[in-house]
Structure 1
Amino acid sequence: MKNLCLGLCLSLLPALALAAGTDKFSNLDGNPGLRSASALVLDGSGNVIYGKDTNTVRPIASITKLMTAMVILDAGLDLDEKITITRDDRDLVRLTGSRLEYGASLSRREMLLLALMSSENRAAHALGRTWPGGLDAFIAAMNLKAEQLGMRNSQFADPAGLHSDNLSTASDLATMIRAAAKYALITEASTTRGLAVRPYPRRGVLNYSNTNRLLKNQNWDIGLSKTGYLDEAGRCLVMQAVIEGEPVSIILLNSFGKLTPFGDSNRLRKWMLANT
């Protein structure tokens, strides 16, 4: 009987170790002191590690581009097909500029990479404009995808996130990044640190960098990433990362100050590690 009990205990050790691992960041003491208006941190099982104002509907700026990428990839469109930037892709909402001038031509894959990695607005808009049925049909597909994912407090108004009517909550965005992480091209593109493209036949390359500076920080192991900014949205950042061997999702919305989302991310990580 004693040997039987010992055998049972030994057989349960892997399961107990796994359970202990998933509980590594449960019931943490103190407060990370975040400056983002909304914040949500989940473990790999979807349990809340930290939450702050998670159900307030807010503009999400370029976080929108993750939905744009999912809708493009769901359609199975030819990623090698060339897409050309036209006057229709200029930003008439914020009047932002772009190094992708009219006539710039890149593959659909490269446009997607630039939209996610460096938050290129014209690239994102061109992806939606060239959708079968046009831009309006693409935006309808974005909202249908959100509905299918169960993002009940979200809506999308354009592919780039330039309209303040792109709205969501921290809770809904946790659902969205969990879905986005299933697309290998999205995880690759959103964590690529730099990319050189050649959109003009008689010019040199254009070099782009990722908008998430934490990708250069050796303390971070990031598997998915997207930043966003509008006056109405403040600074936003969503990520999936591994901290002390544990996968976590981080959503930070409406931070003020260019570096605040990165500072909040580091404060979160420090707080979590101090409690383990």
Structure 2
Amino acid sequence: MQHRFRTAVSRIASILGLVIVSSALIAPSANAAERKRATVKKVAPSATASTKKTADRRVAVTLRSSDRQVNDRRRVSAKAGVRPVKASAVSRAPVVPAKLSFGQMAGLHEVSDPLDLKSSVALVIDQDTREVLLSKNDHAVLPIASLTKLMTGLIISEAKLPMDEPITITQDDVDTEKGSRSRLSVGTTLTRGEMLHLALMSSENRAAHALGRTYPGGLATFVSLMNAKARMLGMTDTRYVEPTGLSSQNQASARDLATLVNVAHGDPVLRELSTSPSYEVAVGRKTLQYNNTNGLVKNPTWDIGLQKTGYISEAGRCLVMQAEVAGRKLIMVFLDSAGKFSRLGDAERVRNWVESARAFGAPKMTAQKGSHG
């Protein structure tokens, strides 16, 4: 009995020992795991902070790189002279309506004619017989633009002034009315003959003004002589206020201009200079090339003895010519033509009409004046 009791106690003691040993072994592991979890909890914030710092460093590097690129672009732009473009509202230039000519305002373009001319005023006369072949609004008094220079040239030529006398362009010769350009800068010196050539052939405004300004007695005397010559020739519709034609106050009728063309054609200097296809002048170290404003003078099918073109907005496109067509010496006047090349087209239409009339043996070639319609 005692033996069984001792055996049972011994077994219980063994079991208790195993339990104690197991507890001892398990406790350190649990504590280690707990410490590990605690360590992880403490380390996690550090890792997050480290990651954030790394990200911040990357952002900072990116920003610094971007700043360097911007600064580099600015330095390159500065070296190239390019300024940064700032965004701004798009501005549109105001639409300026085309300025009407005096002929358009007077309704002269509403007058029709058999040749469908684009000029509101036209007159074609046989120079020898004075027969009027075609007339359209020929009594209308309109601005004549640079056709003025034909009278300027006539006064200079008839004065017999020395053509080799030097004339210098001054500020007084600069156009302040229309703001037209000129290659003859202030200080340019040419001879009177060269100035006259450029005025008649290429319609050089500063050259024409300088011719009048340097005339004995000055500009006022010169303009007075222009008007006196017009009266002497019976040009009762004509008035001049300056020698270039830039002023719309320089006005005349087609009939008066036909008279002027007839007289000017009798001057060999005006014939030669006005029909010259091109001309060169030496200005300092440069040589300037000028061309005739009338392209027909270079056309070998035309026989032109004298010509002058003109244009300001108030006058429209203008042209006067003396030419031989179909064996007849004709004086042609075209005023207030609509379109850059229409005045030359009108001259071609008249020539074709005259040549056709001769081919068909028509005794007279008088176009009837159109009517308003």
User: One fold, TM greater than 0.5?
Assistant: yes
Cα contact 2:308–2:321 (8 A) shared by 1: yes
Which of 285, 295, 298 is residue 213 of structure 1 equivalent to?
295
- Deviation of residue 199 (structure 1)? 2.7
> What does 1:225-244 align with in structure 2 at a 5 Å threshold?
225-244=307-326
Corresponding residue to 2:114 among 31, 50, 54: 31
SS for the counterpart of 1:150 is coil
Which residue identity is paired with 1:224?
L
Q: Give the counterpart letter for 2:288 in structure 1.
A: L
1:41-80 matches, cutoff 5 A: 41-44=124-127, 45-80=129-164
What is the alpha-carbon distance in structure 2 between the residues aligned to residue 52 and residue 217 of structure 1?
26
- Give 1:260 deviation, angstroms: 0.6
CA drift of 1:274 comes to 1.3
Partner of residue 72, structure 2 = none
Query: Within 2, Cα distance between the matches of 1:258 and 1:136?
Result: 33
1:105 corresponds to which residue? 189
**SS of the residue 1:37 aligns to:** strand
Q: Which runs of 4+ in 1 moved over 6 A?
A: none
Higher CA-based Rg:
2
Structure 1 residues not aligned, in runs of 5+: 1-29
Q: How many residues align?
A: 245
One-letter identity of the residue aligned with 1:134: G
Partner of 1:189: 273
- The structure 2 residue matched to 1:222, chosen from 287, 297, 304, is 304
Instruction: Give 2:120's aligned amino acid.
Output: A
* In 2: Cα distance, 1:240 partner to 1:161 partner: 20
Correspondence for 2:210: 126
**Aligned partner of 1:123: which letter?**
A
Does the 8 Å contact 1:241/1:249 carry over to 2?
A: yes
TM-score (norm 1): 0.87
**Which AA in structure 2 matches 1:43?**
D
Aligned partners of 2:121, 2:154: CA distance in 1, in Å? 24
1:68-95 deviation digits (Å, cap 9, x = unpaired): 0111112111111000001110001101
Q: What is the CA deviation profile of residues 160-182 of structure 1, one whole-angstrom value per residue up to 9, with x for unaligned ones?
A: 10000000000000000111111
Task: State the alpha-carbon separation in 2 of the partners of residues 146 and 248 from structure 1.
Answer: 21
Asked whether the 8 Å contact 2:326–2:354 carries over to 1, the reply is no
Task: Find the aligned partners of 1:121 and 1:267 in 2 and give their Cα distance.
Answer: 30
Aligned partner of 1:264 in structure 2 is 346
Cα distance between partner residues in 1 of 2:226 and 2:196: 15
Q: Secondary structure at the match of 2:283?
A: coil
In structure 2, give the amino acid aligned to 1:219: T
Name the aligned partner's letter for residue 94 of structure 1.
K
Query: Share of identical aligned residues, percent?
Result: 49
| 1:219 shift after superposition | 1.7
Query: Equivalent residue for 2:367?
Result: none
Partners of 2:159 and 2:296 lie apart in 1 by 31
Letter in 2 for 1:62: S
- Distance in 1 (CA, whole Å) between partners of 2:240 and 2:345 is 28
Partner of 1:151: 235
Is there any run of 5+ residues in structure 2 with no aligned partner, and where? 1-112, 359-373
**Which of the pair is proportionally richer in helix?**
2
Highest RCO, 1 vs 2 (Cα 8 Å, sep ≥ 6): 1
Q: CA deviation at 1:143?
A: 0.3
Contact kept in structure 2, 1:31 and 1:271, CA below 8 Å: no
TM superposition shift of 1:31? 2.0
Task: Name the residue aligned to 2:264.
Answer: 180
Show CA shifts across 1:188-244 (max 9, x none).
Answer: 0110000000132xx121000000011122221100010000100000000000011
- AA paired with 2:319? L
TM-score by length of 2: 0.65
When the two chains are superposed, the root-mean-square deviation of aligned CA atoms in Å is 0.9
* Corresponding position: 1:93 with 2:168: no
